[in-house]
Structure 1
Amino acid sequence: MEILIYFLIMAAKIIEVSISTVRIVLITKGEKTIGSILAFVEVLLWLFIASNVIQNISEDPLKGVFYAVGFSLGNYIGTILEEKIGLGLSEVQVIVKEETGMLLADEIRNQGFAVTLVHGEGRHNPRSILIMFVPRKRVKTLVKFIQHSESGAVITVSETKPVYGGYGMLRK
């Protein structure tokens, strides 16, 4: 029976920390209401878990070990969950040789992405800079497509706050 309590502590901690990870991302993406609801659930779980672990911890230190394992696994699972949910947008910038910029931009547009093409100057040659705001769920697909199409491309991906206006963007 005691082993069941250890696994319950660990499972509850995994759930609590996973909720915490998703909550933090939601709040940073501007989802205050959902983030606040998750915060309530998170703290409620924490209170029950922590109070159970702290009771007689000196006589039963395995509770602390399972709590710590649950915390660690919760962080891992929470990041996977957050990645799967993939809320928000990422800014993808691609730098390529000028002569391939327009062709790559057209290929990317044919894949359903909006692209802005800008002229740039490299150290020795002119460059094309492609700028895209992409739903996070589609970033990996886009990056793989670019890598396959243009092996010498320099690709950067940055998280971005909400975008207002633009082709293919939700207007807030």
Structure 2
Amino acid sequence: MLQALIIFIAQLLFVPVLTLRTITMVKGMKEKAAALGMLEGIIYVITLGIVFSDLSNYLNMIAYALGFGIGLYIGQIIEQKLAIGFVSIEVNILNKNEELTNHLRDEGFSVSTAEVEGMNQARRYRLDCTARRDREGEFIKIVSTYEPSAFIVSYEPRNFKGGYITKAMKKTKNKHVKSKVHTSS
């Protein structure tokens, strides 16, 4: 029973580490991916060693599978909380909304606007933004407040170079740090 508990707990650690290692690897964070990979390897070898030491112990196998499944769930929650990387967001609205655009810019989002043509030559306006993933919800909430019927789509860009985004992120990060200091004082 103790072995099954150890296996279960090890899997609860192993799978989130596996998830984070995969994400850091895909995002090009070589050093972090390597460190997580070493930790992942150690946990993996120890856990499998216990399971393979007695293949007649079905409780150990069940603990391994159950821990793996729950570990996947935990890994996804951790990944969502960390929100590593960036997101590109496109917003389509019926009318030009300067108030919305200005509010987004005041909040530190880099917003580009364009008039676009939809089906049957319908004129619409598109807002484009690239932001840190941890700010995606904030962006969507602001847009939804001003434009409840907006069409919003987001995706993760693989690469980007230049533009306003780097300066805006630094400004916004400093702004949020300062506001947290002032509100906690």
TM-score computed with the length of structure 1 as normaliser: 0.90
Listed as ranges, the gaps of 5+ residues in structure 1 are none
| Alignment check: 8 A CA contact 1:12 1:49 kept | yes
Aligned alpha-carbon RMSD (Å) = 1.6
The residue aligned with 1:133 is: 130
Amino acid at match of 2:35: I
Amino acid at match of 1:46: Y
Q: 1:17 and 2:12 equivalent?
A: no
Q: Equivalent of 2:27, from 22, 26, 29?
A: 29
Amino acid at match of 1:103: E
1:109 deviation in Å? 1.1
Runs of 4+ in 1 over 6 A off after TM superposition: none
Q: Equivalent of 2:66, from 69, 83, 92?
A: 69
In 2: Cα distance, 1:105 partner to 1:163 partner: 22
The answer to which of 32-41 and 104-113 deviates more is 104-113
Q: 1:105 and 2:101 equivalent?
A: yes
Aligned length: 167
1:84 deviation in Å? 1.4
Q: 1:152 and 2:149 equivalent?
A: yes
In 1: Cα distance, 2:145 partner to 2:30 partner: 39
| Alignment check: 8 A CA contact 1:102 1:117 kept | no
In 1: Cα distance, 2:155 partner to 2:97 partner: 20
Give the secondary-structure state (helix, strand or coil) at the position aligned to 1:100.
coil
In 2: Cα distance, 1:127 partner to 1:55 partner: 65
Listed as ranges, the gaps of 5+ residues in structure 2 are 170-185
The residue aligned with 1:85 is: 82
Give the secondary-structure state (helix, strand or coil) at the position aligned to 1:33.
helix
| Alignment check: 8 A CA contact 1:101 1:130 kept | no
The change in CA–CA distance for 1:135 and 1:117 in structure 2 (over 3 A counts) is: same
1:142 deviation in Å? 1.0
Q: Equivalent of 1:8, from 6, 24, 29?
A: 6
In 2: Cα distance, 1:165 partner to 1:61 partner: 56
Q: Deviations over 1:127-156 (max 9, x none)?
A: 111110010011011112211210110000
In 2: Cα distance, 1:168 partner to 1:126 partner: 28
| Alignment check: 8 A CA contact 1:9 1:49 kept | yes
